[in-house]
Structure 1
Amino acid sequence: MNILVTGGDGFVGRHLCAELVDRGHTVTSLSRSPDSTVLPDEVETTTGDVTDYNSIVDAYEGKDAAVNLTALPPLNEPRPGTFHDTVCIGGAVNAAHAASQHDVDRYVEMSSLGAEIDSPIAYWRTQGLGDMVVEYSNLDWVVLRPSFIFGEGSETFAFVKKYTTPYVTILPDGGSHPTFQPIWVRDIATITADALEDEKHVGKAYNLGGPEVLTFREVTQMLYQAEGTPVKIFSVPDHLTRIGLYAVDPIPQIPFGINQARALEMTNVTEHNQVDAFGLDESDLLSLSTYLKKETGRSIQTST
């Protein structure tokens, strides 16, 4: 197949493009500022912004399939001048319409677990609306909703390091929440490629997670263990954290605010992990603890 991947040189996209090339597909990566150095030599690059329909529509010409990976980071506040609704909703409208105009046969929308139109958190609310756009289109669509995706360059890792400190750190309610079900980026790349290739997935949305359910406390401890750095976690009442994050929300230099306060209360775990629809069992997936141990050679405890 001839496949277009929007956001193809991003964290997930570079792994997906490599997977698709390995499977013998012709792949084009579209992004605002293409970086061919992170992609296999076989991948073509093109410039476009999903918030600008005219800049992307021609890229869909002659494509058999497309994947939309573009979104703003869910954990940090968007940089000034960018908004979740213009990217997650407007981007979904533009990408789906462009694919429809060029009769693209298969379309995969990368959403996220928790994407609901009534979510109090802007990222998940706009993702839910973006999903609805795709699901009401005339495309042969598949929607994937993973929990947080981890791997080298993961935004989740970066967020934890911004939010915590080594040796001693303070977390709301000791980090007992939020809870995650982290899934490895290469496992997501495999699942996405399967969703493109197998027509049995058309018209379905899948909630996906990895083999471990972890609290914010556990993720924090594991990341510092991987560095060989001890960390002792102290607890602060939830309501004090929320007050503090609401207070700093208007300050653009601080990457936390109202949405982060609300996100601290979330549960990002599947009720039923639908990786089984792709012939996978949770035991087939790489866990965060195993990944960190392989990367660092250090023993990683999932609960301390």
Structure 2
Amino acid sequence: MASNLDTLITVFGGSGFLGRHVVRALAKRDYRIRVAVRRPELAGHLQPLGRVGQIHAVQANLRYPASVEAAMRDSHAAINLVGILAESGAQSFDAVQALGAGAVAKTAAAAGARMVHVSAIGADENSPSSYARSKAAGEKAVLSAVPSATILRPSVVFGPEDQFTNRFAALARISPMLPLIGGGLTKLQPVYVGDVATAVADAVDGKTKQGAAYELGGPEVLTMREIMEIILSTIERRRMLVSLPFGLAKLQALFLQFAPGPLKLTPDQVELLRSDNVVSSAAKHADLTLEALGIAPDSLEAIAPQYLWRFRKTGQFQHNGA
């Protein structure tokens, strides 16, 4: 039987937040990894995650099918992690998350390669959110080209380089108050990036059901308010939590969509927060969850202190309040 050393996996979007954890998980299982990214010269941080020569970065852009085909040459499996949280120029939701996902799947089908596609809980063709609609269109395009593909839908993903907990912790450093859009009642099921990466590697190993969509959530369902309270407790800062009605938040987002760093907020992101983002009972009954793969998910409270300490006034040292 061939070992994983003979298996080449192409990871599209492998240099991003989830990507680096997926690359590490695959490297630990001895796969050869080709990381396909728009800027390979910025993917040097991936090299130490594997042995010499095990990880190789190449240029590819999902909007250019020829580059996708070149990145898939001689590859045994394709993993598509490419996604955006906000549109920018030619990088529109449809171009990246719908048409782009389809381009990867068509190339995988032509190469006879396995396909793992990371989507998101909340992917829905009837959603008022462009992001959620494009995610649903991407899933459809992937399964149309590769009916045996595995779809993984995480809830909001947290971890050391995330744009979620880090963003609010950074905001707490500069603002005396934090906004709770829609009163902070939206329910989320934050999932640790390392657990999602393990699920992706399991799918490559062939442990997932073919053509199925798995919903990946952490061990707890938390409201947005509860998540903010965990972040503030972790970084030892007291801040006012101010309820912001959806209508007002959407109005603010018209201006904040052009803001830098943690202040950025788009109208589409506000729209997404109108719906809960949790693992469905249908996925649980069908055994399409992390637990069904034998993965015991880590909680936000267990992991967040390992990287959010840098937002404390006293850094990694203990302190009794702020």
TM category (shorter chain) comes to: 0.7 to 0.9
Deviation at 1:298, TM superposition (A): 8.8
Q: State yes or no: 1:79 paired with 2:94.
A: no
Question: Where does the alignment leave 5 or more consecutive residues of structure 2 unmatched?
Answer: 1-6, 310-315
Match of 2:4 in 1: none
| Counterpart mapping for 1:33-182 below 5 A | 33-34=39-40, 35-39=43-47, 40-41=49-50, 42-73=54-85, 77-104=86-113, 106-138=114-146, 140-161=148-169, 166-176=175-185, 178-182=186-190
Alignment check: 8 A CA contact 1:144 1:206 kept: yes
Deviation at 1:148, TM superposition (A): 0.8
Q: Secondary structure at the match of 1:160?
A: helix
Deviations 1:7-50 (A, max 9, x none): 11111111111111111111111100121223424211111111
Structure-2 separation of matches of 1:134 and 1:7: 16
The change in CA–CA distance for 1:291 and 1:3 in structure 2 (over 3 A counts) is: same
Q: CA RMSD in A?
A: 2.3
Structure-1 separation of matches of 2:66 and 2:79: 18
Q: State yes or no: 1:24 paired with 2:30.
A: yes
Q: How many residues align?
A: 289
Question: Where does the alignment leave 5 or more consecutive residues of structure 1 unmatched?
Answer: 300-304
Q: Secondary structure at the match of 1:201?
A: coil
Match of 1:262 in 2: 271
The change in CA–CA distance for 1:203 and 1:238 in structure 2 (over 3 A counts) is: closer
Normalising to structure 2: TM-score of the pair?
0.82
**Match for 2:87: what amino acid?**
P
**Match for 1:53: what amino acid?**
P
Match of 2:219 among 176, 189, 211: 211
The change in CA–CA distance for 1:33 and 1:228 in structure 2 (over 3 A counts) is: same
Deviates more, 1:15-24 or 1:213-222: 213-222
Q: Secondary structure at the match of 1:49?
A: coil
Q: Secondary structure at the match of 1:155?
A: coil
Structure-2 separation of matches of 1:43 and 1:139: 28
Structure-2 separation of matches of 1:234 and 1:258: 19
Deviations 1:231-282 (A, max 9, x none): 121324343333433x437x644732321231231200112352233123xx
Deviation at 1:162, TM superposition (A): 7.0
Q: Secondary structure at the match of 2:62?
A: coil
Match of 1:292 in 2: 304
Match of 1:275 in 2: 290
Alignment check: 8 A CA contact 2:18 2:197 kept: yes
Alignment check: 8 A CA contact 1:166 1:224 kept: no
Deviation at 1:79, TM superposition (A): 2.4
Alignment check: 8 A CA contact 2:148 2:211 kept: yes
| Counterpart mapping for 1:226-245 below 5 A | 226-245=234-253
Structure-1 separation of matches of 2:160 and 2:305: 13
Normalising to structure 1: TM-score of the pair?
0.87
Match of 1:5 in 2: 11
Match of 1:248 in 2: 255
Match of 1:202 in 2: 210
Alignment check: 8 A CA contact 1:3 1:28 kept: yes
Match of 1:302 in 2: none
Q: Secondary structure at the match of 1:203?
A: coil
Match of 1:192 in 2: 200
**Match for 2:271: what amino acid?**
R
Structure-1 separation of matches of 2:274 and 2:239: 23
Structure-1 separation of matches of 2:110 and 2:93: 25
Alignment check: 8 A CA contact 1:115 1:127 kept: yes
Please identify runs of 4+ aligned residues in structure 1 that moved more than 6 A: none
The change in CA–CA distance for 1:213 and 1:266 in structure 2 (over 3 A counts) is: same
**Match for 1:60: what amino acid?**
M
Q: Secondary structure at the match of 2:128?
A: coil
